[in-house]
């Protein structure tokens, strides 16, 4: 599915996942079916621990701090040390993001470009 571009942005490339549509159509035609592992298509039930955390935070209106909570940054630093072997990661240097698009949007600021 290729989205139509606004006239002001004719040179923007297709979203990379849009380019996979012909391959997805071919895979769906396979007689044994497919397992859809594409982005944004969760099929597994939400784990109980996640449901409990969401329910516990249900009465916390507003948006979180852009830089996340100190507990989140400390947890990320601990994970980086345990899992990736990063020596003494600084929680203050960690910026939790929801994905690559947010990272790309932040990149000019992080690089001091504006």
> In order along the chain (114 residues), what is the average pLDDT of each group of 10 residues?
61 71 84 74 84 90 83 95 94 88 87 82
Overall number of domains in the chain? 1
Counting other chains too, the contacts that 97-101 makes at CB distance below 8 Å and 24 or more residues apart are none
Q: Give the range of the structural domain holding residue 22, as residue numbers without chain letter.
A: 16-41+66-110
Q: Which residue has the tokens 């947010």?
A: 102
In this structure, is residue 56 part of a structural domain? no
How high is the pLDDT of residue 6? 62
Long-range pairs, 71-74, Cβ under 8 A, ≥24: 72/96
pLDDT at residue 89 in the model: 92
Judge whether 2 lies within some domain. no
């Amino acid at each position: 599915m290729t989205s139509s571009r606004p006239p002001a942005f004719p040179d923007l490339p297709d979203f990379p996942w849009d380019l996979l549509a012909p391959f997805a159509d071919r895979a769906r035609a396979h007689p044994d079916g497919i397992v859809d592992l594409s982005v944004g298509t969760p099929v597994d039930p939400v784990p109980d621990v996640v449901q409990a955390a969401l329910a516990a935070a249900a009465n916390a209106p507003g948006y979180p701090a852009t830089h996340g909570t100190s507990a989140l940054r400390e947890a990320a630093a601990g994970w980086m040390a345990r899992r990736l072997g990063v020596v003494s990661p600084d929680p203050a240097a960690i910026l939790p993001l929801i994905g690559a698009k947010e990272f790309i949007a932040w990149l000019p600021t992080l690089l001091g470009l504006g």
